[in-house]
């Protein structure tokens, strides 16, 4: 009868090397995934801020619509422009809201929402 086979030092070292390479690859995948999830979260917040401002402007009296800029949260900036077309009482305002932010890696990004408001 033969006993359980033993492992040589070379086999153990190769096994450790393979496991180490796999773990290193997984670490890279987790880092990229984390960065992508963070960026997606920032895009979602910027989109929410842009829609929020568009709704505020929809509920503003037509004659007082005007462009502007604000900072709803650190690292986020909103800028909106209002362009009027037509003659009263059938004017149409085109509102463009840009919500800008920096990604975790410092890359600038902007989400844009455009809507129209009738007088």
119 pLDDT above the threshold of 60: yes
Domain boundaries 9-118, CATH class: alpha beta
pTM of the model: 0.77
* Model pLDDT, residue 1: 44
* Model pLDDT, residue 5: 66
- CB < 8 Å & 24+ apart, contacts of 29-38: 35/104, 35/105, 38/103, 38/104
Average pLDDT over the chain reads: 91
């Amino acid at each position: 009868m033969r006993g359980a086979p033993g492992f040589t030092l070379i086999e153990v070292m190769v096994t450790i090397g393979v496991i180490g390479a796999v773990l290193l690859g997984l670490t890279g995948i987790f880092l990229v995934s984390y960065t992508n999830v963070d960026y997606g979260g920032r895009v979602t917040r910027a989109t929410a801020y842009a829609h929020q401002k568009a709704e505020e402007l929809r509920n503003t009296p037509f004659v007082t619509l005007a462009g502007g800029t604000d900072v709803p949260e650190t690292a986020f900036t909103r800028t909106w422009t209002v362009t009027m077309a037509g003659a009263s009482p059938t004017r149409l305002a085109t509102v463009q809201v840009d919500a800008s932010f920096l990604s975790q890696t410092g890359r600038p990004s902007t989400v844009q929402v455009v809507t129209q408001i009738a007088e």
